[in-house]
């Protein structure tokens, strides 16, 4: 088994994002929080603490999914890649009509 850097970075990033979400939920500003800034640096939109926590938690889930996909793709062997290429060609060939001679 080879070492993949995503096996180390993914859990650390997810734990960090989870801790940040917990911190914002517990100690965040109960009033409006700036959620988006324009190109000139002014606030375009405000949100509340719940929206900020949900956004951070969503990023945590997304980073876990991407990290798991990176780890799974790193584990693919050459035989699996060849099989995947053959299957993709077969799937591409299925919708093509078969022309017969008159």
Domain limits, the chain: 5-93
For residue 2, the Cα-to-chain-centroid distance in whole angstroms is 23
Closest CA to 36 of 20, 17, 55: 55
| Per-residue model confidence (pLDDT) at position 10 | 87
| Per-residue model confidence (pLDDT) at position 57 | 94
| Per-residue model confidence (pLDDT) at position 99 | 53
What residues of the chain score a pLDDT lower than 50?
none
Q: Which long-range contacts (CB under 8 A, 24 or more apart) does 90-93 make?
A: none
| Per-residue model confidence (pLDDT) at position 52 | 92
| Per-residue model confidence (pLDDT) at position 14 | 92
Radius of gyration for the alpha carbons in the chain, expressed in angstroms and rounded? 23
């Amino acid at each position: 088994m080879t070492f993949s850097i995503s096996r180390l970075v993914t859990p650390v990033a997810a734990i960090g994002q989870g801790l940040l979400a917990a911190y914002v939920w517990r100690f965040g500003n109960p009033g409006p929080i700036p959620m988006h800034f324009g190109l000139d640096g002014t606030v375009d939109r405000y949100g509340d603490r719940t929206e900020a926590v949900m956004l951070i938690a969503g990023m945590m889930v997304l980073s876990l999914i991407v990290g798991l996909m990176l780890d799974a793709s790193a584990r693919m062997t050459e035989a699996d890649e060849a099989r995947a290429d053959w299957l993709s060609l077969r799937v591409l060939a299925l919708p093509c009509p078969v022309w017969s001679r008159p």
